[in-house]
Chain A
Amino acid sequence: MKKVELFGTGCRTCAVTEKMIRDKAAALGVQIELVKVDDPAEIVSRGVISIPAVMVEGTFVHKGGLPSGRDIETWLA
């Protein structure tokens, strides 16, 4: 089980990113625990400005903008 944290305030790009991560995990058969961090205060205090940002197992793998499917594959591998 991989812990994936998604930092976002509910914007469209964030929602698309969430769906991409869930779909990719399902396609690859990887079990993930997706935690959404949507409180702006918490987002900033953890050092994030550009959203959506993604943290996998405690390490930032993405900050700002829409990730590509290939990016997500690398994170979940």
Chain B
Amino acid sequence: MADTFIMLADWLVYGLLGLDRQTHFAGVAHFFVEDTAKIFFLLTTLMLLAGFIRSWISPEKVRHWLQGKPKGLAYFLAVTLGAITPFCSCSSIPLFISFLGSGIPFGVTMAFLITSPMVSEVGAVLFGEAIGWHFTLAYVGIGMATGMVGGALIDRMKLEKWVEPFVIRVNVPVDGAEGTKPAIRKRFDRAWNETRDILKRVWPYVLIGVGIGAVIHGYVPQEWIAGNLGADNLLAVPLAVIAAVPLYSNVTGVVPVAEVLVDKGLPVGTTLAFVMSTVAISLPELVILRKVLKLEMLALFVAWLVVAFIVTGYVFNALF
């Protein structure tokens, strides 16, 4: 299927626009057309499908599944459900309060909140198509492991004191009003609405991401990346993670950048560290979480992710 997009870009860039294949600029334009078309096509299809499936998994159900489970199982369930259910970040506050209020441990709740924004099915498939399925496996695995270990550490350190006190006092109804059971047609309509809404929100990230990827593709020489940011430069991994902290992008915007970095020979571990840090640490998300978590907890949250991604980067660079 990927060939279709290469053919489209060939036709548009070399045929219709008549650019010379040998020039850097033609390479940039080709990359831009191919990746933009591919990402928007996959994004739309995947979001429709994910939205449709998600209409069966409400947060009420997730809460129900996590309640009263032995801790080990609860952590695993929390990150698995976190990975497959991308809740709108605006729902994370009610979700957090309601999880804690119905007896789900703080560590398990945090495991869910760490993994959920980091791993998405859209990201998983895009990475697979653009870079390879080994990268998808690493992306999902790291997202789940960071959540599980982070949650367990928070639990072990007994950090409930860093939750805003009002949260504990909220009286959560035992059986929150169940959502209605909509007809298939209605679920599809809703998925379509959501897809349109998300597309409206993420298209700039995609274009910027593809743009950056295209410029690196056309103008940054492979030798430069290998020479300066290779696995033997021990500073490359922490630099990649820290440089990405203030950057925030939807995962779809990072894919083309990661694709071209790997292509240019940036080690997989360094690329993964950069990708995870860009996707996971976002200022808007932290501002929202500040409503329920004290500043100390947010600082620890960010510190944990930074450390986890740096370690990940070194480990993957050493192994592959």
- Partner-B contacts on A (CB < 8 A): 8-14, 16, 40-41, 43-51, 60, 63-68
Contacts and interface: CB of A to CB of B under 8 A. Distances in A.
Interface residues of B, number: 35
A20 B58 CA distance: 24
B100 to A, nearest CB: 10
Q: Mostly helix, strand, loop or mixed at chain B's interface?
A: helix
Given A11-B88, A44-B98, A44-B172, A50 B59 contact: yes
B58 A64 contact: yes
Nearest to B198: A66
Interface string B50-64: 000000001110010
Interface of B: 58-60, 63, 87-91, 93-95, 97-98, 101, 166-167, 169-173, 176-177, 179-180, 189-190, 193-194, 197, 201, 288, 291-292
Contacts of A16: 197
Contact of B177 (A13, A43, A60): A60
Contacts of A63: 58, 177, 179-180
Nearest to B189: A68
A10 B172 CA distance: 21
Contacts of B180: 63
Nearest to B172: A44
Given A40-B291, A41-B166, A45-B171, A64 B176 contact: no
